[in-house]
Structure 1
Amino acid sequence: MQTIVSANDLCCKSGKRYLLNKINWEVKKGDHWLIFGVNGSGKTTLLSTIAGFKSATSGQLTVLGKQYDAENIFSLRQKVGWVSSSFFDKYYKSESALHVVLSGLFGTFNIEYDIKDQDVRQAKALMRELRMGEKIHQPFNLMSKGERQNILIARALITRPEILVLDEPGTGLDIYAREHMMNTVRMLAESGHVTIIYVTHYPEEIQSFMNKAMLLRNGRIFAQGDTNDVITSQNISVLMNETVDVKKNGNGTIRMTVQASSDICKLCYREQ
């Protein structure tokens, strides 16, 4: 199978701290990856590097057979759909929802002058499908978290990407929007048109089409391989430093159970 993402000793530093440390990883066409880890493990940094919005400090990264450079960065970004509210919320402010969606056509935060009527029609169609048709002119920063998430999903899909990189796409979505998003991602994966790389903190979002998995801890790969071999009680317990029971449901989804007791009431309301 064709290799579409390849990382060799990939490192990313902030000051003296490694956000990513010697990542060696290969994504082949037809595989769909789950990335799982606790907060601060490097998941968003890894995805933003793959999507071409963050530069590595050292090592090598190839995406669709190319390394990002000044000449190809915008055209290559168009082939990688990137959904991350934690990333884009820093850059989009008063831009309209339509502006944000159309900016995906250019791999930038802005839109160029050569917007075609069919581009606008496609953007509006995607927004309607995601129940955002009435929010076309709404400023991005005045939307709810779930609404912004849907706009970013439309932005990612407008270029018909070859790779779809999803950083906790279910965060902030209501029950219908979350189910619709999961069905959309599953259909895209099953279509064979796009490779999915999916980050989530929610075990119930781990679906059967995610045949590969990577566990990240402190910027390093803790485990990677077939999902059934990686997402186990033993691995997740060591990763979380807690006892976690992992079970697969009949529909292929994952359930994780952890004892998370709290003494907050004793601390706040104990007798004086």
Structure 2
Amino acid sequence: MQPFLTLEHITVRYLDKTLFTDLSWEIRSGEHWAIVGPGGSGKTSLLHTILGKNNVINGRMAHHYYDRYRETFPVTDPYFNYRRLLAMVGHHHDFRNLSHTTDFYYQQRFNSMDSSDAPLVEAYLDGQWEDPLLAPLNLRPLLKKELIKLSNGETRRVMIARALLQKPSLLLLDNPFIGLDVQSRQGFHGIVDHVAATGTTVVLVTTPKELPESITHVLQLENGRVTGTFTRQAFLAQYREEEAVHAGPEPDAALIKKLTADAIPASFEVIAQMDDIHVKYGDNAILDGISWTIRPGEKWALLGPNGSGKSTLLSLINADNPQSYANRIILFDRRRGSGESIWDIKRKIGFVSPELHQYFSSQATCLQVTGSGFYDTIGYIRPCTPAQLEKAAGWMQVLEIAQYANVPFRQVPASVQRLVLLARALVKSPPLLIFDEPCQGLDAHQKNNFKQLIETLCRHISVTLIYVTHYTEELPACVNNFLRISNGKII
């Protein structure tokens, strides 16, 4: 088989950091690769290197498919280069509003006037949504939605559709399955297989448990080094031998007890009470007759497929959605709209979600971002006291990311960013924790450590928990209440 892409002894830098040294890898025509490895091993950076976003300062990277394209098709555009034959779907969207800027903000999706500045899905897809290649993505229900109102899983489906419409020679996918419900993940496996069958080469970052049938080879990374290349069969045989995740040492219970010594007491009759909740945008009903009561100390799992209304329901509790004033909602024993500010509510909540991560582009250090949880700001707007920064450092230690304390948030791996935001949610030891897909993008060890942390935390303080996930094995053992919704209704 002919070589398709060659990386030959490359050294790669981004800003002042060396990402790879003397890395070699070759993809041959007809091969489709998965890149696996622990968090921070360089998986996303390798995709960005192929895409041309990082500087190759030594060695050689050869895009053979581009050379063959130039030999086959006359190219008169002087700006045409190999990037025209690439498409990538990353962690975060790059949507532009109707003003042709990317100036979206987190709560914008819940404000009907502001969200109208975002284009509809059908416009973003240039009216090509009927392409048979996109059928498994089930895009029809999304076409009349503004991009900003899409759930995390819906956003990923639309981004994947846009990339597929480019008909690229090489499709790069960075963890394409995270944020997708079970049905969508199964459907996307089929999409990857179909894309591969049409002649597009696929390279995806994924977990060992999510290998589409079309993947022929696996590249394993650790600390920026290639630790193995395998055929699919050889990798799966090895992985089955190592599949059991060995539980690491339990989190430092004494440190957790110290960090939560001044936890806000949950002296409430109800944390949240919602009676016959209805939320509509135009003719589109998002929530339809939801009633839910959460009492202090309860541990809830909120479950449902992409687009079922989970994020909207959480936005009513987290004081992000103005439609809470049009419904009967009691938060922390107080009727919503009775004079309390959103900051009075947020002070009692620790919150993290994929959407929050999307809009957290702070220039601050990881320690400062963790400390911003004391003031519920998106960014390090209000300086923390030394005592607050000490507590923030303690939570980073518990989550095993203390070494990143003084590194700018934007320069650390996505998995570390997620752990920083989890530390930010925990830092003030609030009476209510809302974790919306908290383990998204974490490796097996990081997930296991976080799960143990939550179980340890719940043994030490009377915290109330709402946990959203598409992977029930991620639920901490302390969760014993379940609410499942679909199409905005309790099922």
TM-score, normalising length from structure 1? 0.74
- How far, CA to CA, are the matches of 1:62 and 1:107 in structure 2? 21
SS in 2 for 1:48: helix
Q: Which residue of 2 aligns with 1:48?
A: 315
Deviation at 1:216, TM superposition (A): 0.8
Q: Which residue of 1 aligns with 2:365?
A: 96
Q: Which residue of 2 aligns with 1:213?
A: 482
1:41–1:219 CA contact under 8 A, matched in 2? yes
Correspondence 1:123 to 2:123: no
Q: Which amino acid aligns with 1:172?
A: G
Deviation string for 1:123-177 (max 9, x for gaps)?
1111122122122233333333321211111111111110011101111111111
Deviation at 1:202, TM superposition (A): 0.5
- How far, CA to CA, are the matches of 1:101 and 1:67 in structure 2? 30
Deviation at 1:188, TM superposition (A): 2.1
- How far, CA to CA, are the matches of 2:462 and 2:311 in structure 1? 24
Could you tell me which of 247, 272, 280 is aligned with 1:13? 280
SS in 2 for 1:172: coil
- How far, CA to CA, are the matches of 2:425 and 2:402 in structure 1? 17
- How far, CA to CA, are the matches of 1:15 and 1:148 in structure 2? 36
- How far, CA to CA, are the matches of 1:218 and 1:144 in structure 2? 34
- How far, CA to CA, are the matches of 1:110 and 1:93 in structure 2? 5
- How far, CA to CA, are the matches of 1:155 and 1:193 in structure 2? 19
Alignment of 1:109-148 (within 5 A): 109-111=378-380, 113=382, 115-148=384-417
Q: Which amino acid aligns with 2:403?
A: E
Q: Which residue of 2 aligns with 1:75?
A: 344
Q: Which residue of 1 aligns with 2:333?
A: 65
Q: Which residue of 1 aligns with 2:468?
A: 199
Deviation string for 1:5-29 (max 9, x for gaps)?
1111223333332222221100112
CA RMSD of aligned residues (A): 2.2
Deviation at 1:52, TM superposition (A): 1.9
SS in 1 for 2:375: coil
1:4–1:65 CA contact under 8 A, matched in 2? yes
- How far, CA to CA, are the matches of 1:111 and 1:93 in structure 2? 7
SS in 2 for 1:56: helix
- Of stretches 135-144 and 191-200 in structure 1, the one that deviates more from structure 2 is 135-144
- How far, CA to CA, are the matches of 1:47 and 1:189 in structure 2? 21
SS in 2 for 1:137: coil
Alignment of 1:183-198 (within 5 A): 183-198=452-467
Q: Which residue of 2 aligns with 1:107?
A: 376
Q: Which residue of 1 aligns with 2:450?
A: 181
Could you tell me which of 303, 328, 331 is aligned with 1:36? 303
TM-score, normalising length from structure 2? 0.42
Q: Which amino acid aligns with 1:64?
A: F
Closer/same/farther in 2, CA of residues 147 and 190 from structure 1, 3 Å limit: same
SS in 2 for 1:30: coil
- How far, CA to CA, are the matches of 1:44 and 1:137 in structure 2? 32
Structure 2's unaligned 5+ residue stretches are 1-267
- How far, CA to CA, are the matches of 1:160 and 1:50 in structure 2? 17
- How far, CA to CA, are the matches of 2:282 and 2:369 in structure 1? 31
Q: Which amino acid aligns with 1:46?
A: L
SS in 1 for 2:359: coil
- How far, CA to CA, are the matches of 2:401 and 2:420 in structure 1? 7
2:396–2:402 CA contact under 8 A, matched in 1? yes
Deviation string for 1:64-107 (max 9, x for gaps)?
11245575321320211101122332243433322321221112
- How far, CA to CA, are the matches of 2:336 and 2:468 in structure 1? 22
SS in 2 for 1:154: helix
Closer/same/farther in 2, CA of residues 16 and 8 from structure 1, 3 Å limit: same
Aligned residues: 222
- How far, CA to CA, are the matches of 2:348 and 2:332 in structure 1? 9
2:287–2:309 CA contact under 8 A, matched in 1? yes
Percent identity between matched residues is 29
Q: Which amino acid aligns with 1:34?
A: A
**Higher relative contact order (CA closer than 8 Å, sequence separation 6+):** 1
- How far, CA to CA, are the matches of 1:132 and 1:196 in structure 2? 23
Bigger Rg, which one: 2
Closer/same/farther in 2, CA of residues 56 and 143 from structure 1, 3 Å limit: farther
Q: Which amino acid aligns with 1:59?
A: N
